[in-house]
Amino acid sequence: MKRIFASFLLVCLVSFSLQIKSFAYSTDPEKFITEIIDQAKLILNSGVSKEDKAKKLSVIALETVDVKGIGYYSLGKKRKELTPDQLKKYESLFEKYFLKSFTSRLTDYSDPKIAVLSAEIASEKYTIVKTMLLKTDKKPEVKIDWRVYTKDPNKPLIRDLIVEGLSLARTQKEEFASILSTNDNELNALFNKLEEFVNK
């Protein structure tokens, strides 16, 4: 009986996790972003703990954001100097850093009201989806543009958020460059900072 119950539980857990991971996002960038926003809203409005919200948002992020690409972009030209082992370590650290930073920013918002306004094809590889975080009593409205990478039209991925004209990916890249330049271009200094952030 115990075995049957354990098997049933395992099947339930596996199918639940597959269900989360296998959500079929639209290939149309505007619908793609709308679906992500709707899913994030459901999570942020749910009564679960902040940690659980972060876990669920991480699943969405891994599915819809080009985390590896953003990591490479953030490292800039320094990436070419890395050994395969260093690169592997960086990719793993960056993913942890990114997810923590991403979910921490999002979980600060409860019940965000975002309107998807329009989409504009910027080039063969990019579509910009324009959205607006609506005004509240405390905060003014905020324009947020989602830079969607559409090189593979069947699998769009988010590469950047441009908040009121300010690129978060660029800010991150310049942050990494600053850490390297103030530490004699020493990669371990960046690794230490990332680890420090992940573990805090």
Partner 1 sequence: MSSERIKIAVYIVALVLAFSSNTFAAEKYSANECFEKFSRGTLKFNQALDKAIFKPVAKGYRALPVPIRTGSSNFIENLRSLLTFSNNILQGDLKGAGNTAGRFTINTTVGILGIFDPASKMGFEKKSREDFGQTLGVWGADSGCYFVLPVLGPTTARDTLGLVGNVFIDPVYHLTHGSETDLVVGNENVGEHNYYIYKGTDAVDFRSKNIESIDSLEKNSIDFYASVKSLYLQNRAQKISNSPIASKSQDDSDWEEIDNQ
CB of 27 to partner 1, least distance (A): 19
User: Binding segment for partner 1 among 11-19, 37-45, 46-54, 159-167 (CB under 8 A)?
Assistant: 159-167
Beta bridge partners of 161: 146
Kindly tell me which residue out of 55, 63, 101, 191 binds partner 1, with binding defined by CB under 8 A.
Answer: 101
User: Binding segment for partner 1 among 4-12, 26-34, 40-48, 125-133 (CB under 8 A)?
Assistant: 125-133
167 part of the interface to partner 1, by CB under 8 A: yes
41 part of the interface to partner 1, by CB under 8 A: no
175 part of the interface to partner 1, by CB under 8 A: yes
First-to-last C-alpha distance (Å) of the chain: 43
CB of 123 to partner 1, least distance (A): 6
User: Binding segment for partner 1 among 11-19, 44-52, 56-64, 178-186 (CB under 8 A)?
Assistant: 178-186
Which has the closest alpha carbon to 194: 87, 97, 104, 69? 97
Token pair for 108: 């600060």
How many H helices and E strands in the chain? 7, 5
The H-or-E segment that residue 199 falls in is helix 187-199
Distances, alpha carbon 196 to alpha carbons 28, 74, 161, 200, in Å: 38, 18, 24, 6
User: Binding segment for partner 1 among 8-16, 21-29, 48-56, 171-179 (CB under 8 A)?
Assistant: 171-179
185 part of the interface to partner 1, by CB under 8 A: no
Which has the closest alpha carbon to 141: 130, 149, 133? 133
Determine the 3-state secondary structure of 66 from DSSP. coil
Token pair for 21: 């991971």
Residues near partner 1, by CB under 8 A: 69, 72-73, 97, 101, 104-105, 108, 120, 122-123, 125-126, 128, 137-140, 143, 145, 147, 151, 159-160, 162, 164-167, 170-171, 173-175, 177-179, 182, 193-194, 196-197
